[in-house]
């Protein structure tokens, strides 16, 4: 019978302090004692119930899979349409449109200041004809479309709905999302056009109109990752994102909108 060996001498740790990418300290070991005073019912809850830590739907993805999209937008509407139809033919269940920077700031492709930016990092959309080419052969009542667009979100949404109308699709059957998160643009990306107050007015107008006319449309997608990519820590990212969300809710409530209505597509 072999003799028991004494535990090996503990190796010296590589550094005195370990942290996350945001500088938060990481302890060597976490146990139940680390959660002293933590109330699971209050802080965790159940799926579909406040505080929604376990998801916003009771059954989550056991009941319905998430929409699968690949973010894409090539130089021209025709090239992007070819890509979208390919992706849909291979099983993708929704579209995610990337627009070029001139489109994001409401600038036509033939504008002198757009030189060098047309069709880069996304598709160029200047007209209803472009939008028709972008979704040619794609039934908008069957496909959910996410559009990463902010300052010109109202314009691109109008063009999208005009295409739906040309396809004889009623607005109540159209589904999708516009990012429409202008506060994040002032903080991180810079693709804003109007001052903050008029921009917030446009956003809440979209809340109000879509709630009545396009009930399946998600009128805003509050973004945090752009803030993180601009140099924030994880804590700052969450702080700014939640602050932006609260500002949108406050603006909508001050407009007299019902949170139980616009909040459903928030």
Q: Give the residue from 239, 122, 113 showing the smallest Cα distance to 184.
A: 239
The mean pLDDT value of the chain amounts to 92
pLDDT at 36: 86
- Evaluate if residue 4 carries a pLDDT over 90: no
**pLDDT digits 0-9 by tens, 107-122:** 999 999 999 999 999 9
Grade residue 23 by pLDDT with cuts at 50, 70 and 90. confident
Higher-confidence residue of 261 and 253: namely 253
Residue range 16-31: mean pLDDT, rounded:
90
Residues 6+ apart with CB under 8 A from 207: 219, 220, 252, 255, 257, 262
Provide mean pLDDT across the span 167-196. 96
Mean pLDDT of 212-219: 96
Q: Residue 228 above 60 pLDDT?
A: yes
pLDDT at residue 225 is higher than 80: yes
pLDDT at residue 6 is higher than 60: no
| For residues 148-168, average pLDDT | 97
Q: What is the mean pLDDT of residues 75-84?
A: 95
When pLDDT is averaged across residues 213-242 and rounded to a whole number, the result is 94
Q: Per the omega criterion (within 30 degrees of 0), is the bond before 51 cis?
A: yes
Q: Are 22 and 233 in contact (CB under 8 A)?
A: yes
Q: Is the pLDDT of residue 253 over 90?
A: yes
**b/e per residue, 43-68, with b = 16+ CB within 10 A?**
eeeeeeeeeeeeeeeeeeeeeeeebe
What confidence category does residue 167 fall into, taking pLDDT thresholds of 50, 70 and 90? very high
pLDDT for residue 69: 85
pLDDT > 90: what percent of the chain? 74
pLDDT of residue 8: 59
> What whole-number distance in Å separates Cα of residue 120 and Cα of residue 232?
26
On the question of pLDDT at 5 being above 70, the answer is no
Segment 126-138 mean pLDDT: 97
For residue 42, the model assigns a pLDDT of: 86
């Amino acid at each position: 019978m072999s003799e028991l060996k004494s535990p090996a001498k503990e190796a010296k740790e590589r550094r005195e302090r370990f942290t996350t990418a945001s500088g938060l300290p990481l302890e060597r070991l976490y146990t139940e004692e680390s959660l002293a005073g933590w109330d699971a019912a209050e802080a965790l809850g159940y799926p579909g119930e406040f505080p929604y830590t376990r998801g916003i739907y009771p059954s989550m993805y056991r009941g319905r899979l998430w929409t699968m999209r690949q973010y894409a937008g090539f130089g021209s509407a025709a090239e992007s349409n070819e890509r979208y139809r390919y992706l849909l033919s291979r099983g993708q269940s929704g579209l995610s449109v990337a627009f070029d920077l001139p489109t994001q700031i409401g600038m036509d492709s033939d504008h002198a200041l757009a030189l060098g930016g047309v069709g880069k990092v996304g598709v160029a959309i200047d007209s209803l004809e472009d939008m028709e080419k972008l979704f040619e052969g794609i039934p908008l009542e069957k496909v959910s479309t996410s559009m990463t667009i902010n300052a010109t979100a109202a314009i691109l949404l109008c063009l999208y709905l005009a295409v739906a109308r040309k396809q004889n699709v009623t607005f109540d059957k159209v589904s999708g999302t516009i990012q429409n998160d202008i506060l994040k643009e002032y903080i991180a990306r810079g693709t804003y056009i109007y001052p903050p107050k008029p921009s917030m007015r446009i956003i809440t107008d979209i809340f109000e109109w879509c709630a009545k006319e396009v009930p399946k449309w998600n009128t805003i997608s509050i973004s945090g990752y752009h803030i993180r990519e601009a140099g924030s820590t994880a804590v700052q990212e969450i702080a700014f994102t939640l602050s932006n969300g609260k500002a949108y809710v406050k603006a909508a409530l001050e407009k007299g909108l019902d949170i139980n209505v616009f909040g459903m597509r928030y």
